[in-house]
């Protein structure tokens, strides 16, 4: 009321000032409202993300840091007697021949996975689009290994590889190839290959699914255009399917490499790294050192090395993939 | 005619792969119906007279106890992952803030991390929390490692929903909480199915955490239980085969019922990462 009266009696310049004042007030109000809204939004963001961040942070982020921390100690993990030794565990690791064997086996598994799982998966996926009848049935069977529990697969293949009554030796016997018979998992020379073959058997169907999904996404009219140009199936595969599958192939390669570098379950069940460490992988060796020999510090240095190796390998793939994309 | 002829190599290849993938599974099931004596005589031939004796014995064993443990752990973990990951995806996908991108990357990196790198600290953490050797030790790490993939899937779905949904809801004075649970979440059903199935397969078959974080037989999940059987009855091969068959059955049944969903789930869970 008072303000209104003042406005009536004052001259124009003052009136302007008053107007300015009210606009300032509303500006302030808007700002206040905005910051209130922002604060409100911040609460929403925190509220929605906190539970996931907390559990992820605790079990993944914090744990990786702690693994590095533990790797700097000589520690059994049972008592509180932690002796700080700096990088000593890593120095020991470098001259540990079992670790090198296990790493070599991991890279053997990487190579075998890339060379067998991906092509097998691709062939299976392509077959699913072929005019072969009853493909639904074929697909269901193709996919089964991936759904079986790894432990079940491991135990099943122990019997298949068995030296006395195992399926493989029986078949070899029937074919008159007795000299080829082996105690597949019991001999150093054959054990790693027997185990790798099983891993490939288990995971090829997984890549079949990835490739199938990618092939479904390729536009049909590309093939129609190629048909008009008189291209045969091979040409169509070479010039349409394969280039368009490239991103999926790269993803599959990354998954396959990372999977192979951290592989554990099947080896643990089938051979537990034996005979004589010939099937040892980094993960099985880490388990053995940590939970069997109670060298928790040393085990931590193995697992942190696995993390570094996986990280470097992934970085290299992504680097080359970016360059390839750039070159195109 | 030529077309028919061309198909012959395809059939040969298809059947060869069928044998490659199917035979181990087939002999597992077939051996499970044999008696021990029959198995000794001809281990890999078809059973002459089907016997359900091995399965009957499983009912008397701890098998269903392991089974129940697996069901409890898997269901709790999968439900929790869906709720936590969907909620976390909402700000990541539909709000602008400074840490949006870094936080998303932080979750994304989780897909590359070898779980073994976290095994020792999680083992110690579980001990300190007093959860060691209970089935409650398992959902924590299972949820944590399922979150990255699930967030990737949920954010992708959320980004595809129209912006107007939020605007009109806000007009009506609807808060974020109600907006998310009442309006957006129901629209996420296909993503929920994908996340649920993908993670269920992983968690149902998980082995390392179960091996390290539990100890007693009464807290074993199915994968550990199968190994237990193998250790105890390694002479009774048909009995073990019956356990392996029954242990693989749930996922195979789920697969037969929801083939397309599973296939989509696996593809979405991996390709887009």
Domain extents in chain A = 2-62, 83-327
Angle, helices B53-60/B237-257, rounded to nearest 10 degrees: 90
Nearest chain A residue to B207 by CA distance is: A265
Residue B14 lies in a domain: no
Tally of domains within chain B: 1
Element (H, E) at A84: strand A83-84
Q: Distance from B39 to chain A by nearest Cα, in Å?
A: 10
Question: CA B114, B220, A149: angle at the middle one, nearest 5?
Answer: 55
Chain B positions touching A265 (Cβ under 8 A) are 207-208
Chain B positions touching A289 (Cβ under 8 A) are none
Complex ipTM, two decimals? 0.88
pLDDT tens by residue, A172-226: 888 888 777 788 888 888 999 999 999 999 999 999 988 988 888 888 888 888 8
Nearest chain A residue to B98 by CA distance is: A42
Nearest chain A residue to B90 by CA distance is: A48
Residue B45 lies in a domain: no
Q: What is the pLDDT of residue A12?
A: 53
Q: Does domain A83-327 have CATH number 1.10.3720.10?
A: yes
Q: At A109, give phi and psi (nearest 5°).
A: -65, -40
Contact assignment for A213 to B271 by CB distance below 8 Å: yes
Residue B70 lies in a domain: yes
Contact assignment for B270 to A205 by CB distance below 8 Å: no
What distance in Å separates the CA atoms of residue A97 and residue A115, rounded to the nearest whole number? 27
In the structure, how many helices (H) and strands (E) does chain B have? 15, 0
How many of the other CB atoms lie within 10 Å of CB of B17? 20
Q: pTM for this structure? A: 0.87
Q: Which two structure tokens, joined as six digits, stand for A29?
A: 């109000």
pLDDT tens by residue, A118-129: 999 999 999 988
Q: What is the pLDDT of residue B224?
A: 93
Chain B contact for A213, CB < 8 A?
A: yes
Q: Distance from B11 to chain A by nearest Cα, in Å?
A: 6
Whether residue A9 is predicted with pLDDT greater than 50 in this model: the reply is no
Range of B191's domain? 60-269
Residue B22 lies in a domain: no
Work out the mean pLDDT of chain B and round it to a whole number. 87
Q: What is the pLDDT of residue A6?
A: 45
Residue B151 lies in a domain: yes
Residue B27 lies in a domain: no
pLDDT tens by residue, A299-318: 999 999 999 998 898 888 88
Q: How confident is the model at residue A292 (pLDDT cuts 50, 70, 90)?
A: very high
Contact assignment for B114 to A141 by CB distance below 8 Å: no
Residue B130 lies in a domain: yes
What distance in Å separates the CA atoms of residue A215 and residue A252, rounded to the nearest whole number? 14
Q: Name the residue with higher pLDDT: B243 or A1.
A: B243
CATH of the domain at B81: 1.10.3720.10
Chain B positions touching A258 (Cβ under 8 A) are 112, 114
pLDDT tens by residue, B29-73: 998 998 888 887 777 788 888 888 889 888 888 888 999 999 999
Contacts of A59 (CB under 8 A, 6+ apart): B118, B122, B125, B140, B141, B143, B144, B145
């Amino acid at each position: 009321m008072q303000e209104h009266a003042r406005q009536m009696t004052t001259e124009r310049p003052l009136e302007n000032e008053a107007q300015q004042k009210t606009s300032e007030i509303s500006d302030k109000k808007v700002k206040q409202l905005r910051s209130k809204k922002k604060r409100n939004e911040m609460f929403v963001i925190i509220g929605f993300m906190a539970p996931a961040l907390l559990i992820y942070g605790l079990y993944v982020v914090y744990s990786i840091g702690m693994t590095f921390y533990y790797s700097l100690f000589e520690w059994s993990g049972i008592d509180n007697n932690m002796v700080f030794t700096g990088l000593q565990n890593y120095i020991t690791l470098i001259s540990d021949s079992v670790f090198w064997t296990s790493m070599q086996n991991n890279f053997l598994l990487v190579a075998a996975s890339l060379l067998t799982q991906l092509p097998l998966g691709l062939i299976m996926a392509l077959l699913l689009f072929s005019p072969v009848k009853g493909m639904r049935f074929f697909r269901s069977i193709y996919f089964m290994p991936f759904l079986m529990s790894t432990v079940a697969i491991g135990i099943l293949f122990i019997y298949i590889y068995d030296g006395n009554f195992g399926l493989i030796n029986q078949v070899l016997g029937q074919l008159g190839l007795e000299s080829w018979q082996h105690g597949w998992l019991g001999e150093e020379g054959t054990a790693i290959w027997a185990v790798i073959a099983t891993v490939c058997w288990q995971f090829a169907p997984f890549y079949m699914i990835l490739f199938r999904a990618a092939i479904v996404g390729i536009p049909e009219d590309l093939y129609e255009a190629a048909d008009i140009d008189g291209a045969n199936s091979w040409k169509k595969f070479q010039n349409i399917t394969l280039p368009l599958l490239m991103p999926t192939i790269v993803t599959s390669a990354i998954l396959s490499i990372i999977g192979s570098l951290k592989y554990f379950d099947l080896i643990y069940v089938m051979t537990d790294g034996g005979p004589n460490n010939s099937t040892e992988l980094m993960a099985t060796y880490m388990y053995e050192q940590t939970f069997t020999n109670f060298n928790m510090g040393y085990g931590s240095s193995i697992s942190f090395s696995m993390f570094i190796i996986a990280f470097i390998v992934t970085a290299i793939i992504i680097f080359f993939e970016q360059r390839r994309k750039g070159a195109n | 005619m030529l077309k028919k002829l061309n198909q012959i190599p395809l059939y040969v290849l298809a059947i060869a792969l069928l044998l490659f993938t199917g035979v181990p599974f087939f002999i597992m099931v077939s051996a499970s119906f044999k008696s021990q004596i029959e198995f000794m005589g001809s281990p890999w031939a078809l059973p002459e007279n089907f016997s359900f004796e091995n399965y009957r014995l499983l009912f008397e064993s701890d098998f269903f106890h392991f089974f129940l443990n697996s069901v409890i752990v898997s269901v709790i973990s999968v439900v929790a992952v869906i709720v936590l990951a969907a909620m976390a995806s909402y700000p990541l996908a539909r709000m602008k803030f400074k840490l949006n991108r870094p936080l998303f990357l932080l979750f994304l990196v989780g897909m590359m991390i070898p779980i073994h790198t976290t095994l020792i600290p999680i083992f110690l953490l579980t001990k300190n929390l007093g959860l060691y050797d209970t089935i409650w030790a398992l959902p924590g790490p299972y949820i944590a490692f399922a979150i990255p993939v699930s967030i990737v899937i949920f954010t992708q779905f959320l980004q595809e929903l129209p912006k107007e949904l939020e605007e009109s809801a806000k007009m009506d004075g609807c808060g974020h909480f109600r907006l998310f649970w009442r309006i957006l979440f129901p629209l996420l059903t296909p993503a929920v199915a994908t996340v649920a199935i993908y993670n269920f397969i992983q968690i149902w078959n998980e082995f390392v955490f179960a091996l390290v974080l539990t100890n007693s037989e009464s807290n074993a999940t199915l994968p550990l239980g199968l190994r237990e059987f193998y250790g105890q009855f390694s002479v009774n091969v048909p009995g073990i085969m019956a356990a392996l068959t029954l242990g693989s059955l749930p996922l195979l049944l789920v697969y037969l019922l929801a083939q397309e969903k599973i296939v989509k789930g696996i593809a979405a869970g991996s390709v887009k990462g």
